[in-house]
Amino acid sequence: MDTTAPQNTFHQLTHCTECGALVSVPNLVARQTAECPRCHHTLKSADRWSLKRCAFIALSILILMPFALKFPLISINLLGSPIHASVWDGVWKMATAGFPYTAFLVFLCAIVTPVFFALLVLLLRISQMLNIKPRNVLLTINYLKPWVMLDVYLVSIGVAAFKVREYADLHIDIYLIAFVFTALLTTLLFIKINPKALWNDFYPEHQHIQNMSEQNALCCCTNCEYSFEHAILNRKNQPTCPRCLHRINIDDSLILQGTWATLIAGIIMLIPANLLPISSIYLAGAPSADTLMSGVISFINMGSYFVAFVVFTASIFVPISKILIMIYLLLSVHFQWRHSIKWQMRLLHIVHFVGRWSMLDLFVLALMMSLVTRGQIITFSVGPAALYFGAAVFLTMISTSLFDSRLLWKIYDKQYSNTGTKH
């Protein structure tokens, strides 16, 4: 926390949802941030925009959305005929060409979630004006944020442009400016909106504990990051958070089972994703199929080394390394490996950050379907590996979201209590 500002006398107790430590947090003034002294997770921040300002950003995003998603972003001239590519056209042509499930994955991450995210921010502002408690809206925003991938799609436009320029002249359409601004505003909204602070704004009757003598009785909800004394019971007689009604104190074995199940399913999906063709190009009747790795090699042969590096990182290195890291972390919990907790947490943060970028390949495929359609001298087709690859990305992202980092800190606490020294 910034110590240059005047210190406050009022403190509240809160559990760190990342390491489980109980921390006394003071009231903050503008631009101050309180961090957990053990894991440096942000517990509270006063550096945020008002919901009114966030709503204006969300409204701007919704105004730009039709131009960013429906109108052409890039185009090519093929035999004198202009062919345009837009986000919606890519999804539509992929679905009508016989790949509806793959198209649905692209549609979900590139169109549905960005629109709904902006709409939910507007709903929060309306709820604030009407004095309504939007529990479900706040819950949905937490779940939705990792799946909004306009920034990933923006990079995929550059990759598709390098890929298609080998066959035809490429032109940038003016509506690409609208897409760039939409992606930037969405990223800005991610940074400036604070769901935890909004929970406190909309539910002020749920106050944090202030008395240190009550610390042993505190419960913690990882969903809305609320620390409280007494849980309430749901219809199944399970303890739940009194603020967001999310189940708490879930058994560690259930967390591990869910994490393992989705991770193993992702591994199974990744095998055909790497072995089968992910795309096919028919040039003058001659077919040319590409797997994930051969696609990288083709960029290298074209001399586009940076694009090859981006595609290799997003499509091959990130998915495989993410799986290896998750297996290591899970085995660390099962076998109580006493490795460096800082290193383990750094690996977990990396997995959370890079996982969504693996969707880049599917976005490139959607753009290529829009640019190089059937019936022309050049025909592009999505391969069977695309669906397996998209499923692997989704399953591994779900797996990392299910994993509870406090399981690793329990091993660290046990080690510290036995040795009396930090590692």
Using DSSP's 3-state secondary structure scheme, residue 232 falls into strand
Taken in order 34, 24, 203, 233, the sign of the CA dihedral is: positive
- Element spanning 400, H or E: helix 385-402
Q: What is the pLDDT of residue 6?
A: 44
Q: What is the pLDDT of residue 421?
A: 52
Give the CA distances from residue 21 to residues 26, 97, 308, 407, in Å, rounded to whole numbers and listed in that order: 16, 53, 43, 12
Q: Which amino acid is at 307?
A: V
Give the CA distances from residue 402 to residues 57, 222, 223, in Å, rounded to whole numbers and listed in that order: 30, 11, 12
Q: What is the pLDDT of residue 38?
A: 87
Provide the strand spans (E) within 16-110. Answer: 22-26, 33-35, 42-45, 74-78, 81-85
Of 353 and 60, the one with more pLDDT: 60
Compute the average pLDDT of residues 311-336.
Answer: 92
Q: How far apart are CA 104 and CA 266, in angstroms?
A: 18
Q: Read off the pLDDT band of 217 (50, 70, 90).
A: low
Q: How far apart are CA 48 and CA 60, in angstroms?
A: 19
Beta bridge mates, 34: 44
Report residue 256 as tokens: 């591990």
Q: What is the pLDDT of residue 337?
A: 87
Beta bridge mates, 227: 220
Say yes or no to pLDDT of 377 above 90. Answer: no
- Element spanning 196, H or E: helix 195-202
Q: What is the pLDDT of residue 298?
A: 80
Q: What is the pLDDT of residue 396?
A: 94
Q: Read off the pLDDT band of 167 (50, 70, 90).
A: low
In percent, the amount of the chain with pLDDT more than 70 equals 88
Q: How far is CA 251 from the centre of its chain?
A: 25
Q: How far apart are CA 12 and CA 35, in angstroms?
A: 13
Return the exposure string of 65-100: e unless at least 16 CB atoms fall within 10 Å of the residue's CB, then b: bebbbebbbbbbebeeeebbbbbbbbbbbbbebebe
- Element spanning 322, H or E: helix 318-334
> Any idea which of 4-13, 28-37, 66-75 has the lowest mean pLDDT?
4-13
Q: What is the pLDDT of residue 7?
A: 45
Q: What is the pLDDT of residue 214?
A: 47
Say yes or no to pLDDT of 308 above 60. Answer: yes
Q: Which DSSP letter does residue 79 get? A: T
Q: Which DSSP letter does residue 381 get? A: E
Number of Cβ within a 10 Å radius of residue 36: 20
Compute the average pLDDT of residues 334-341.
Answer: 88
Q: Read off the pLDDT band of 371 (50, 70, 90).
A: confident
* pLDDT tens digits, one per residue of 4-14: 444 445 567 78
The answer to whether 326 touches 355, Cβ cutoff 8 Å, is no
> Any idea which of 124-128, 356-360, 378-382 has the lowest mean pLDDT?
378-382
| Residue entry with tokens 């760039």 | 180
| Residue entry with tokens 């692209």 | 106
Give the CA distances from residue 25 to residues 28, 45, 198, 309, 310, in Å, rounded to whole numbers and listed in that order: 9, 11, 17, 44, 41
Residue boundaries of the structural domains of the chain: 11-47+204-240, 51-198+248-419
Compute the average pLDDT of residues 244-266.
Answer: 91
Report residue 80 as tokens: 């004198």
C-alpha Rg value of the chain to the nearest Å? 24
Q: Read off the pLDDT band of 179 (50, 70, 90).
A: very high
Of 178 and 196, the one with more pLDDT: 178
Q: Which of 12-21, 81-90, 140-149, 318-327 has the highest mean pLDDT?
A: 318-327
Beta bridge mates, 283: 286, 378
Q: What is the pLDDT of residue 4?
A: 40
Q: What is the pLDDT of residue 26?
A: 81
CB-based burial label for 289 (10 Å; 0-12, 13-18, 19+): middle
In percent, the amount of the chain with pLDDT more than 90 equals 37
Report residue 78 as tokens: 């093929």
Say yes or no to pLDDT of 2 above 60. Answer: no
Residues 6+ apart with CB under 8 A from 318: 354, 355, 357, 358
Q: Which DSSP letter does residue 247 get? A: B
Say yes or no to pLDDT of 153 above 60. Answer: yes
Q: What is the pLDDT of residue 258?
A: 94
Q: What is the pLDDT of residue 41?
A: 86
Q: Read off the pLDDT band of 206 (50, 70, 90).
A: low
Please provide the average confidence, as pLDDT, over all residues in the chain.
84
> Any idea which of 62-66, 262-266, 296-300 has the lowest mean pLDDT?
296-300
Say yes or no to pLDDT of 49 above 90. Answer: no
Torsion of CA 298, 304, 307, 313, to 10 degrees: 60
Say yes or no to pLDDT of 3 above 50. Answer: no
Say yes or no to pLDDT of 236 above 70. Answer: yes
Give the CA distances from residue 1 to residues 43, 181, 300, 353, in Å, rounded to whole numbers and listed in that order: 10, 33, 47, 24
